[in-house]
Structures are given as C-alpha cells and as structure tokens.
Amino acid sequence: MSRAKRSIDWGFPRWRGYGSSREAATVRLCDRHGCEEPGKCPAPKAPNSPERWYFCEKHAAEYNSRWNYFEGLDAAEAKSRAQQEQRDNSGYSEAAHYGWAGSGDGSRSQDEVRALDLLGLTPDADFDTVKKAWRAKAKEVHPDVKPGDKAAAKEFQAIQLAYEVLRMAEERREWKG
Ligand SMILES: [Zn+2]
C-alpha cells in the first residue's frame, strides 16, 4: 500500500508544485512604486502608446482621476481612441472589467466618470457623495444666485446634466440588484 502512495508522489511530482508555481508566475504586482497589491487594472502610459501600466484598483482610480486621457486629442481622435480601447479590451474579461475609463471596480461607465469629474469627485464616490457635491456646486452657480451670468448658467446646466447621468446610472444599478 505504501508503495502505491509513493509511486503517485514520485511519479507525478508536478501534482505538488503545479498550483503554487503557476500562481507565482501570473500574479503581477501594481506598478505604483512600493505597492504590493496585485496589478490587475491596465492603464495607458501615454495617449499614443499601446503600453500599459498595471495598477491595483486603488492606484488605477488615482491614476485615472489625475490624468485626462484625451488631453491633446481632437474629438474625432478621442472617439476612435475610445473605440479602439474597447476593441482591445474586449479580448480580456479582466481588461474589460477594469477598463481605464471606468472606476477601479469597472462599475462606472465613461459618461459617469466624466460626470463625476465635473462634480470634482473620484470614480469611487457613492451616490450620497454625488448628491452632496451636486447640491453644493449647483448652489454656487444657480441662476437665482448669479442672475445674468452666462458662464454660471452654462456650468449650472452642465452640473444638472452630470447629476442626471449619475442618477440614472444609480437607478439602473438598483434595478439590476
Ligand atoms: Zn497599487
């Protein structure tokens, strides 16, 4: 009996180390200096570069919130870039899940992230935070407060629109459960 056991052990040494060595090879650490979290979120290094950083969720959100990826691109270029990103990402469930344009956990659309940015919020802001930021900003530029101020009126509209985008997204999420 002990002989059979031994032959399994020695005959198939890969049974033992397989899982652990494989895991070690595929786990990639966050590219943010000093961070020990797994780097699961690809983020473009530069607008015209296919190269990617790989960050943990927290650092990907931080990176995305500080850098306007579309800076310096005209509207058409930005659009084709967005489409290209989507195509590139669709091959990997992970990359699609952690798309650069969304939040760290992939639950935010590109529009939502833009709307959040307009309200001065990061992608991980919850809806209560959104409401507070929206109210505070809307008060500042409300037509009653700044009558005849065209710039303020325009900003007021943009803030309303941003809030509407986020409110509808929140409702969609609630319906989905
Ligand atoms: Zn990190």
- Measured in Å, residue 114 CA sits from the centre of ligand 1 at 23
Ligand 1 centroid–CA 64 distance in Å is 13
142 CA distance to ligand 1 middle (Å): 39
Print pLDDT tens along the chain (177 aa). 444 444 444 444 444 444 444 444 557 888 887 888 888 888 877 666 677 888 888 888 877 766 554 455 555 666 666 666 555 544 443 333 444 444 445 567 788 888 898 899 988 888 999 999 999 999 999 999 999 999 999 889 889 989 988 888 888 777 765
User: How far does the centroid of ligand 1 lie from the alpha carbon of residue 30, in Å?
Assistant: 5
- Tokens representing 21 are 């060595």
Cα(26) to centroid(ligand 1), Å: 17
**158 to 89, 103, 155, 172: CA distances (angstroms):** 30, 21, 5, 21
Phi first, then psi, for residue 75 (nearest 5°) are -60, -45
Per-residue pLDDT, 59 = 83
* Distance from Cα 75 to the centre of ligand 1, integer Å: 31
Classify residue 67 as left (phi > 0), alpha (psi -120 to 50) or beta.
beta
Q: How far apart are CA 125 and CA 26, in angstroms?
A: 31
Q: How many residues are present in the chain?
A: 177
Cα–Cα distance, 42 to 176 (Å, whole number): 27
Q: Positive or negative CA dihedral for 111, 116, 117, 122? A: negative
Task: Specify the pLDDT at position 4.
Answer: 46
Q: What is the pLDDT of residue 81?
A: 60
Reduced 3-state DSSP string for the chain: CHHHHHHHHHHCCHHHHHHHHHHHHHCCECCCCCCCCECCEEEECCCCCCCEEEECHHHHHHHHHHCCCCCCCCHHHHHHHHHHHHHHHHCCHHHHHCCCCCCCCCCCCHHHHHHHHHCCCCCCCCHHHHHHHHHHHHHHHCCCCCCCCHHHHHHHHHHHHHHHHHHHHHHHHHHHC
CA distance 100 to 51: 13
Q: How far is the CA of 27 from the centre of ligand 1 (A)?
A: 13
